[in-house]
Amino acid sequence: MQTPLVDRHGFPRSDLDIPRVSTIRRDMVRARNDYAALTTAMDAFLSSHFSSAKESNADGVAMLQSPVEAAATSSLPFCRVETVTRGSPAEKAGLQPSDEILQFGQTREMNGMRQEATSLAAVSVVIQRRGRPLRLTLHPGQDPLIGALFVPV
């Protein structure tokens, strides 16, 4: 793109097809400008669309609205909540019977759930309730029991 099309005396170079090179350069500049305009428009749209990406449902639980967030989680549940004990960390987090677990902390399998729940730190749980993905935060507390019975799907 930076190579001159004329020699040092100002005459067109004989080793180049000047009209063809000029056309290619013009097309490349147009494509670069179109790309810049497109990325600017996409950035503006995505920023406005995802600025209000999370909304709350009737339970006050943050719902996943962003396709990016939803894609980050597994689309297939690995277990289902069978029962939830009253007053338990699971109930306080918003888990309900028949919720399907998509992700529990960093794990997407039942074997890793116990380790995540015993860490005493808050655990992010992505569930599917009535076909909609939800993100809950579970605070296990001192007791490693979180007050929910999970069954494999």
pLDDT tens-digit series, residues 13-44: 889 898 998 899 999 999 999 888 888 888 88
- The answer to whether residues 40 and 97 belong to one domain is no
Q: What is the pLDDT of residue 151?
A: 92
Q: What is the pLDDT of residue 64?
A: 54
Identify the domain containing residue 6 by its residue range.
Answer: 1-51
Percent with pLDDT over 90 in the chain: 23
- The answer to whether residues 132 and 146 belong to one domain is yes
- The answer to whether residues 46 and 64 belong to one domain is no
- The answer to whether residues 21 and 71 belong to one domain is no
Segment among 55-64, 95-104, 116-125 with least mean pLDDT: 55-64
- The answer to whether residues 76 and 110 belong to one domain is yes
- The answer to whether residues 17 and 77 belong to one domain is no
- The answer to whether residues 18 and 80 belong to one domain is no
Number of domains observed in the structure of the chain: 2
CA-atom Rg of the chain in angstroms: 28
Segment among 15-29, 81-95, 111-125 with least mean pLDDT: 111-125
Phi-psi region of 76 (alpha: psi -120 to 50; beta: other; left: phi over 0): beta
- The answer to whether residues 17 and 32 belong to one domain is yes
CATH of the domain at 94: 2.30.42.10
Among 31, 51, 71, the domain-final residue is 51
- The answer to whether residues 19 and 94 belong to one domain is no
Percent with pLDDT over 70 in the chain: 78
Q: Confidence band (pLDDT; 50, 70, 90) for 68?
A: very low
- Select the more confidently predicted residue: 142 or 72: 142
- Predicted confidence (pLDDT) at residue 67 exceeds the cutoff of 60: no
Residue from 84, 99, 83 nearest 136 by CA: 99
- Predicted confidence (pLDDT) at residue 56 exceeds the cutoff of 80: no
- The answer to whether residues 40 and 66 belong to one domain is no
- The answer to whether residues 68 and 43 belong to one domain is no
- The answer to whether residues 67 and 115 belong to one domain is yes
Instruction: Report the mean per-residue pLDDT for the chain.
Output: 80
Q: Confidence band (pLDDT; 50, 70, 90) for 106?
A: confident
Tokens of 86: 């009253």
CA 139, 140, 142, 146 dihedral sign is: positive
CA 45, 47, 50, 52 dihedral sign is: negative
